[in-house]
Chains A and B, each alone.
With several copies, the nearest count.
Chain A
Amino acid sequence: MLYLYDGSLDVPTILKDWYESEANSNYGAYIPFVGTVRSEDEIDGLSFDIYEPILNKWFNDWQDKAKEKGAVIKMAHSRGDVMLHESSYIAAVFSPKRRVALEFIDEFVEDFKASAPIWKYDLKDGQRVYALDRSTAIKGSGLLS
């Protein structure tokens, strides 16, 4: 349950579809995390590259971890340009009980930031500038240096 979209996400529709898709699964807790492009450093928006084969593997590993705890994860992310105040990312956990969901959404979002093969660029003055200073080297980086 990983969904990639060209451009910004239709947040209300995605949150509704996910809620309704699990309405009869007997989960007690549903916690979406929605990431929205903030106005800072005079950017016009952000742009994203995604490497799907590794993203899919990374996501499937998390889905397996969730399953062990009786939970389910869903994630949506934008490809390409997303402008100011539009949303580019939604992750959600469903679980029977609240503690699992509260802990999982935190761990998942943090690992997503540190590991998911997605590259972010600032859109500024018509340029697409790699956001190196806000990016994180994947664990094990520097192997060939």
Chain B
Amino acid sequence: MVKVEFLGPIQKEPLELDITNLNELATILQDDPQMKEWLENSAVAVNDTLVSSRDFALKDGDKVALLPPVCGG
């Protein structure tokens, strides 16, 4: 299973999904109307490292995080 977390202002509980890459995660989240806007402006980290390809392979135990727009300081 892969754990998916939604950080900062995204008001959504973590998911436990049986997926093997980020394409599958995209398909699942695109069906969630609450997530539509967040998908457009959020970055994605796997095991706390930002990733830049949807083909990124996921394995059992991986942790995916969605990071919406930031503003520290």
> Do A and B touch, yes or no (CB under 8 Å, in the complex)?
yes
Interface residue A96 (Cβ < 8 Å from any Cβ of B)? no
CA distance A74 to B41 in the complex (A): 29
CB-defined contacts of B48 to chain A, threshold 8 Å: 53-54, 57
Interface string of B51-64 (1 = CB under 8 A from A): 11110000000000
Q: Is A144's CB under 8 angstroms from B26's CB?
A: yes
Interface size class of B (residues with CB under 8 A): 20 to 34
Q: Is A131's CB under 8 angstroms from B41's CB?
A: no
Of the residues A98, A115, A130, A144, contact of B39 by C-beta under 8 Å? A144
CB-defined contacts of B45 to chain A, threshold 8 Å: 54
Q: Is B72's CB under 8 angstroms from A140's CB?
A: no
CB-defined contacts of B44 to chain A, threshold 8 Å: 140, 143-144
- A117-B67 in contact given A35-B73, A88-B73 (Cβ < 8 Å): yes
Some 24 contacts from A to B, beta carbons below 8 A apart, are A35-B73, A49-B8, A54-B45, A54-B65, A89-B73, A113-B73, A116-B72, A117-B8, A118-B70, A118-B72, A121-B9, A132-B9, A137-B42, A137-B43, A137-B69, A138-B67, A139-B43, A140-B52, A141-B40, A141-B43, A142-B40, A142-B42, A143-B22, A145-B30
| Residue ranges of A at the interface with B (Cβ–Cβ < 8 Å) | 35, 48-51, 53-54, 57, 77, 88-89, 98, 109, 112-121, 130-132, 134-145
